[in-house]
Amino acid sequence: MKEKTPLQIRAAAARHNTSVDQSNRRVPINLRQSGPTPVEMLISTRVRKSPYWHLSFESGCWRATVYNRVYHPRGYQRMDEGGAMVEYEALVNHVTMWNVAVERQIQVKGPDAEKFVDFVITRSASLIKPMRGKYVILCNEEGGILNDPVLLRVAEDEFWFSISDSDLEFWMRGVNIGKGFDVTIAEIDVCPVQIQGPKSEALMSDLFGSAVSDIPFYGLMEGRLNGADVIISQTGFTGEKGYEIYCKNATVDAEKVWYGVLEAGEKHNLMVIAPAHHRRIAAGILSWGQDIDQEVSPFQCNLAYQVPRDKEGDYIGKAALEKARDQIEAGASPYPLGMVGIVFGGKPVIDYANDFWLVYGEDGGDAVGYVTSPWYSPELETNIALCHVPWDGRDVGTKYKVALPEEYGGEIVDAEVVEIPFRPSVNPNSREVAKARGSDSVD
């Protein structure tokens, strides 16, 4: 038999694995669907810049990905300068600013705004008062998660969906064509930056006054920065104390906000960094398209608390979700896989994974699951990850093995299921709060 060429070997290694049970999905998650990309990636006018893009470049951004069809900074500190782990140190010890304009803002406004929002989210929109927000999910009719935005209620008749990486606007417009609520639905020219870290409150107080300290978690406040109108929220993609500054009229006023934060941040050791996936993993925060998608149920991924038992009225996905909950409580296994947190061995994972790494049983054999979000935790001194494993193998203490890619030695290492979050959060997310009070719901 003719010996394979190096190119053929690399191509074979990139083949999709088919042993993981994904029988409940129409489109399996194509394990190893990304991988190293030895071809030039063409970026065309399908992808937009944000009003902060040139400012990110000016601040040292050297690489980016695409999120919601917008350039998304994914690195400021180069690898030979410590890379993302240097950015992590700034986040957990000082204060950081992130360009998160990719969180496109979809406005729902009108007399029926609350009714419409209540119909498309699983939680109760009426419990979100004006100038408050919530982390929410929107599901399709089968109970799959379409998006998991932060929802801001900026007025009695106006909501902003700060969306994750899927086209929510088109779907909501379609829903309203069928239902005929008295609302308008459209993307608006509002772009956020995140201010995250233990010194974030001090920095925000310098910018907006002492009233910032009175903003509750998921609370909102109006403000002005260098003449730019903004909405401030106490939210963020970490378990650290943090805020988001939503710049209105961002196409015109983005520089006012960006430079205002940079100037005020000097005395607080502010660093501009990429979104800190290493910290959000430790907090158990999910990334849509990476950890979850439209064929993953909230019951599979530790989001059961987003499905209240006592929400009145109908909402999209309600029947499917209530049926699934009944099955689970009856002891059935409605899904082949469920999400867990694991710790695992091997070299420290200090950069983004470009594949879904395969998970095997303790005794080897065929792959049984996949890692979605791995990173190294300096505090725990071990690699941590979110991953999907067999539904009946989710108990804390269950042993697995993880196949590492070549850049981390290419070995198969031991792994173990642990509690999520991996370490305590300064700002506990809704799941942590619900868990602490012994509830599976926050509404």
The two structure tokens encoding residue 121: 């989210």
Residue 441 has pLDDT above 70, yes or no: no
* Residue 42's pLDDT band (cuts 50, 70, 90): confident
Any idea what DSSP says for residue 288? B
Query: Beta 184-187 vs 105-109: how paired, if at all?
Result: antiparallel
277: pLDDT strictly greater than 70: yes
Tens-digit pLDDT profile for residues 300-315: 999 999 999 999 999 9
The tens digit of pLDDT for each residue in 370-388 reads 999 999 999 999 999 999 9
User: Where in the chain are all domains bearing CATH 2.40.30.110?
Assistant: 1-42+336-443
DSSP characters over 41-108: PP--TTSB--TTHHHHHHTT--EEEEETTEEEEEESS-GGGTHHHHHHHHHHHSEEEEE-TTS-EEEE
What is the chain's mean pLDDT, rounded? 93
> In this structure, which CATH number among 3.40.630.10, 3.40.50.800, 2.40.30.110, 3.50.50.60 belongs to the domain 1-42+336-443?
2.40.30.110
DSSP string, 199-244: THHHHHHHHH-GGGGGPPTTBEEEEEETTEEEEEES--SSSSSEEE
Yes or no: domain 190-268 corresponds to CATH 3.30.1360.120: yes
**What Cα–Cα distance (Å) separates residue 248 from each residue in 188, 257, 353, 411?**
9, 10, 34, 49
How much is the pLDDT for 17? Answer: 84
Amino acid at 272: V
Percent of the chain with pLDDT over 70: 93
pLDDT score of 233 = 98
CA distance 380 to 357: 21
Check residue 435 and give its pLDDT: 63
Beta bridge partners of 139: 145
CA 98 to CA 100: how far, in whole Å? 6
- The one-character DSSP state at 331 is T
Reported pTM: 0.94
Q: How far apart are CA 97 and CA 105, in angstroms?
A: 19
pLDDT digits (tens, 9 = 90+) for 178-191: 999 999 999 999 99
- Dihedral of alpha carbons 239, 243, 246, 247, sign: negative
Could you tell me which residues are beta bridge partners of residue 244? 194, 233
Q: What is the pLDDT of residue 436?
A: 65
Q: Nearest-CA neighbor of 292 among 416, 388, 162?
A: 388
Q: What is the pLDDT of residues 208-254, one digit of tens each?
A: 999 999 999 999 999 999 999 999 999 999 999 999 999 999 999 99
Overall average pLDDT of the 160-172 stretch: 97
Which comes out higher in pLDDT, residue 12 or 76?
76
Residue type present at position 383: N
φ and ψ of 30, to 5 deg: -75, 95
Place of tokens 């979000």: 373
Residue found by looking up tokens 């801001």 in the block: 152
| Pair 181, 76: CB distance under 8 Å | no
Q: Characterize the bridge pairing of strands 270-272 and 95-99.
A: parallel
pLDDT tens, position by position, 88-143 = 999 999 999 999 999 999 999 999 999 999 999 999 999 999 999 999 999 999 99
Statement: residue 439 has pLDDT above 60: no
